[in-house]
């Protein structure tokens, strides 16, 4: 029994370090986005960078651990919106919810553009979110409430536009955000005042988001 105590102690220390790293990364990503270095995160967590790297070999591993709950909430928001009796209210509530998530976390939009091949759970939540969003859009169109030329990529367009509020709004971002979202929702309502230009493909949209965040490779950065 005595021989097992050091192992238990080491495991407890390792778990405490892991939680400190995740907590520090969550704060930093929310405030500054995902561009911060692993060294800076280690310093804020008060652990050595080698300790951080043992737990999370790449930034993608750390980001996946930090944002798994947020990805689940993102998918859940769309699922909840599908239960609303009024299809338009469900759609608008979802857009407002996503804007609120983005407003409170600068790293949120960036995570939605990344791929996490080693994080099965996070990728599963993102796929679930995309499927729910597609159903939400189809439902609102079938009700005659959402303009017919709206596409799932337009949700990303909302996130891109709203990212400017999050990044540059400062103390009044909370006031600017609902006004921008209200303008956009009015533009999305059927039938629309004029035809829209052709929507970009999902691949084009994804690449534009990566360029916006200064990364042409996705989440595989260190």
Domains of the chain: 11-57 (1.10.10.60), 66-212 (1.10.357.10)
- Asked whether residue 117 carries a pLDDT value surpassing 80, the answer given is no
CA distance 55 to 48: 11
pLDDT of 138 reads 97
Q: 123-143, pLDDT tens digit by residue? A: 888 889 889 999 999 999 999
Q: What is the mean pLDDT of residues 71-91?
A: 94
In angstroms, the first-to-last Cα distance of the chain is 40
pLDDT of 120 reads 75
Q: 194-205, pLDDT tens digit by residue? A: 788 887 787 777
Q: What is the mean pLDDT of residues 59-65?
A: 88
DSSP 36: S
Q: What is the mean pLDDT of residues 166-176?
A: 85
Residue pair 106/202 in contact (Cβ under 8 Å)? The answer is: no
DSSP code string of 108-155: HHHHHT---TT-HHHHHHHHHHHHHHHHHHHHHHHTT-B-TT--THHH
pTM of the model: 0.77
Q: What percent of the chain is modeled with pLDDT above 90?
A: 44
pLDDT bin (cut points 50, 70, 90) of residue 115 is low
pLDDT of 220 reads 42
């Amino acid at each position: 029994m005595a021989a097992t105590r050091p192992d238990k102690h080491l495991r407890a220390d390792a778990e405490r370090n892991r939680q400190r790293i995740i907590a520090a990364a969550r704060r930093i990503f929310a405030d500054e986005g995902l561009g911060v270095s692993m060294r800076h995160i280690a310093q804020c967590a008060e652990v050595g960078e080698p300790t951080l790297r043992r737990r999370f070999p790449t930034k993608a591993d750390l980001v996946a651990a930090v944002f798994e709950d947020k990805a689940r909430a993102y998918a859940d928001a769309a699922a909840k919106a599908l239960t609303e009796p009024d299809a338009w209210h469900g759609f608008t509530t979802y857009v407002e919810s996503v804007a609120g998530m983005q407003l409170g976390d600068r790293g949120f939009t960036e995570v939605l553009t990344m791929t996490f091949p080693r994080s099965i759970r996070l990728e599963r939540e993102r796929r679930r979110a995309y499927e729910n969003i597609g159903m939400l859009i189809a439902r609102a169109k079938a009700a005659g409430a959402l303009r017919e030329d709206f596409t799932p990529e337009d949700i990303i367009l909302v996130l891109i536009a709203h990212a400017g509020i999050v990044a540059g709004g400062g103390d009044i971002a909370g006031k600017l955000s609902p006004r921008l979202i209200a303008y956009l929702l009015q533009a999305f309502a059927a039938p629309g005042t004029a035809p829209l230009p052709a929507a970009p493909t999902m691949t084009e949209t994804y690449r534009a988001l990566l360029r916006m965040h200064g990364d042409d490779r996705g989440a595989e950065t260190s």
